[in-house]
Structure 1
C-alpha cells in the first residue's frame, strides 16, 4: 500500500541512482566472493552482498507500490564468476572500501534530498550499514598491513594566523611556495591513494574489455590516473612529504572478462563522478595559490573523460536513462 504522500522527483531520482549502484556492487561482489582466498575477506564481502540484495528488494518494493517501473541496472548477464582472477590479493577489500566511501557520500546526500519518512529511514539505514562495512574493510586492511597511512606531522603547539597575502603565494614564477598545510596535504594524499587503486582497476578493465573502443577508453583512463598520481606526488615531494604506496591489489595477467563492458563502463563513470566531487572539495579548501589551478585542470580532464565515456555507453545502448520530468512543450503540441 503506497503512502499518501507520493514520491517526489528527487526521491525517484535517488532511488534510481541507488538501484544502479547497488546492482553493480552486487554483481561485482559475486565475482570477488567466488575468488576470495581469505576467509575473513570473504565473510566481509558476503555480509555486504546479503545486505545489498536486501536493499535492492526494498527499493523494488517502494517503486512497485508507487506504480513505477523497475530499473534494469545490472543483472547476472553482466558477470561471469567462473573466469580466472583479474586482480591480485587484497584488491577486493581495497576496492570495496573505496565503494563504501562513495556510498557514504551518496547516501548522506540522498538523505538530505528525501522528505518521506520511509525514504529518510531507508537512507539512514544505508548510511549506517555502509559505515559499518567501511570500518570492517579498514580494520581488515590495517590488520594485513596493506593500507598506507597518511604522513606523520608534528603536533601544533601554537595557533597561527596568516600575515598578509604571502601565505597564498604559489601563482608567481619567482615567489617561494610555502610548505603545504595539513588540509591541503590531506586532500592531495587522498587523491593519490584513490587514483593508485583506480589505475589498477582500470588496467584490469583494459585487459579484458571486448569492444576495441572500450579498451582504448580504459587505456586512456589508466594514463589519466597515472598523470594525476604523478602530478600530485610531485606536489607532496616538493614539501618533503612521502607519497602513498602499498603492496598487492594489482591486476593479474588474465585477459578473460569477469564483467560486461557495460558494467565496467558504468563503474568507471561512478569513479569519475566521485573524483570530481573529491577534487572540488580539495580545490575549495586549498589556500596556496598554485593548488586550485592544478586541481581545476585535473577536474577538467576528468569531466572530459567522463563525458567521452557517456557517449560510448549511449552509442552501444548501455546508458539507461534516469526517469524524466514531463516535457510540457511536447505534451501541448
Structure 2
C-alpha cells in the first residue's frame, strides 16, 4: 500500500484544515498589501502569495482524494479591492516578517504530527518556504533600517556554572540580583517585536471594523499589546537594555475597511494562539523567577482576551468548526 492509499489520520486532517484557514486568510491580506506596495516590496509579497495559492490547491486536492469537504476559509468576499491602504511605510513587510514566524512555528509542529509521507513532506515544504520568506523579509527590513536588532553583548571567554540559588531569584533594586541572561533577552525581544507589529495591526483593524462589538474588542487588543510591550520592556530596562522600537509600519488614517470583520477577528485569534505559545516558551526557558511569573500573568490576559474573541465569532456565525470526531456516545443512548 502506497502512502497516498493510507487514510489520513485525525491529526493530519486537523492540521491540513488549520493550514487551509491560515493560508486563505494570508492570501486575502496579501491582496491588499500587493495593491499598494512599492516595487521591491511587491516582488516579495507576490512570491509569498504565489506559494500560498499553490499550497491551498494542494490541500484542496488532498481533501478531494480523501472524500472530505473543502473548508470555507477566507474568500474574495473577505477582501475589498480599490480601497485606500490601511498601513503605511513597510508595514506590509513587517506583517510578512511576523506571519512567517507564526508559520515556521505552526508548520514545524504539524510536521512532527504527520505520519503519511506525502503529508509530512508537504509540511516540511511549508516550513522551508516560511523560513526562506522570513529571511528575505528580515533582510529587507534591516536594509530599510526599520527592524531593531537584539542587544549586542560581550562574548563569553570562559564556561561558568550556576553556584548560588540566588540565580533563580527575581529582580530587586536593592540586592545583587543578576541581570538577564542572553536566553531571557532573546525571548523578551521576540515577544516585544511581535507585539509592536500586533499593536499597529489592531489599531488599523479597529479603525475600519464595521461592527461596534468587534471594534471594541480590537481596541482591547491594541491595549493588551501595548501592556505586554511595556511590561516586558521594563525587564530589559532593568538590565540597561533598550527595548526594540521602530518608526515605520504605522496605521494610516483610513476608515475604509479592506478586510471583513470575520477575517480581522480570525487574524487576531491566530496571533493570540501564537502569543500564548511564545509566553509559554519564554516562561519555560527563563531561570529568573520574576519573568515566568510575569509571563504567566500575561498569558492569562491573552487567554481571556482570546476567549472573548471566540464568543464574538460564534455569536456572529464566523467560527468555522474543525472536522469533528464521531460521537460514539450516541450509540449508547
| Pairwise TM-score range, normalised by the shorter structure | over 0.9
Distance, in Å, in 2 between the alignment partners of 1:257 and 1:148 is 30
Spell out, residue by residue over 1:204-262, the C-alpha distance to the aligned partner (whole angstroms, 9 max, x if none).
00100011000000011111111111111111111100111111100010011100000
Q: How far, CA to CA, are the matches of 1:131 and 1:327 in structure 2? A: 39
Q: How far off its partner does 1:265 sit?
A: 0.3
User: What CA deviation, in whole Å up to 9, does each residue of 1:80-134 have, x standing for no partner?
Assistant: 1211111001000010111101001111111111111110111111111111111
- Return the alpha-carbon distance in structure 1 between the equivalents of residues 322 and 208 of structure 2: 28
- Cα gap change, 1:239 to 1:171, in 2 (>3 Å): closer
Deviation at 1:175, TM superposition (A): 4.8
Q: Could you state the TM-score of these two structures normalised by the residue count of structure 2?
A: 0.97
In 2, the alpha carbon distance for the partners of 1:183 and 1:166 equals 18
The yes-or-no answer on 1:178 pairing with 2:178 is yes
Q: Is the 8 A contact 1:13 1:323 kept in 2?
A: yes
Alignment of 1:63-142 (within 5 A): 63-142=63-142
Query: 1:11 — aligned with what?
Result: 12
- Call closer, same or farther: CA 1:133–1:173 in 2, change over 3 Å: closer
User: Once the two structures are superposed, what CA deviation does each residue of 1:262-315 show, in whole Å capped at 9, x if it has no partner?
Assistant: 000000000000001011110001111111110100000001100110000000
DSSP 3-state at the match of 2:194: helix
Alignment of 1:264-279 (within 5 A): 264-279=264-279
In 2, Cα distance between equivalents of 1:16 and 1:80: 25
Q: 1:174 deviation in Å?
A: 6.4
Which residue of structure 1 aligns with residue 242 of structure 2?
242
When the two chains are superposed, the root-mean-square deviation of aligned CA atoms in Å is: 1.4
Match of 1:317 in 2: 317
Change (3 A) 1:2 1:187: closer
Decide whether the 8 Å contact of 2:36 with 2:85 is kept in 1: yes
> Structure 1: where are the runs of 5+ without partners?
none
Identify which range, 157-166 or 45-54, moves more after superposition: 157-166
Q: Does 1:221 align with 2:216?
A: no
The aligned runs of 1:10-89 (5 Å cut-off) are 10-36=11-37, 38-89=38-89
Relative to structure 1, the CA distance from residue 246 to residue 171 in structure 2 (aligned partners, 3 Å threshold; closer, same or farther) is: closer
Residues of 1 paired with 2:277 and 2:229: CA distance?
17
Deviation per CA, 1:32-66, whole angstroms, max 9, x where unpaired? 00011x21110001111111101000000000001
Unaligned runs of 5+ in 2: none
Q: State TM-score, norm by structure 1.
A: 0.97
Aligned length: 332
Runs of 4+ aligned structure 1 residues displaced above 4 Å come to 171-176
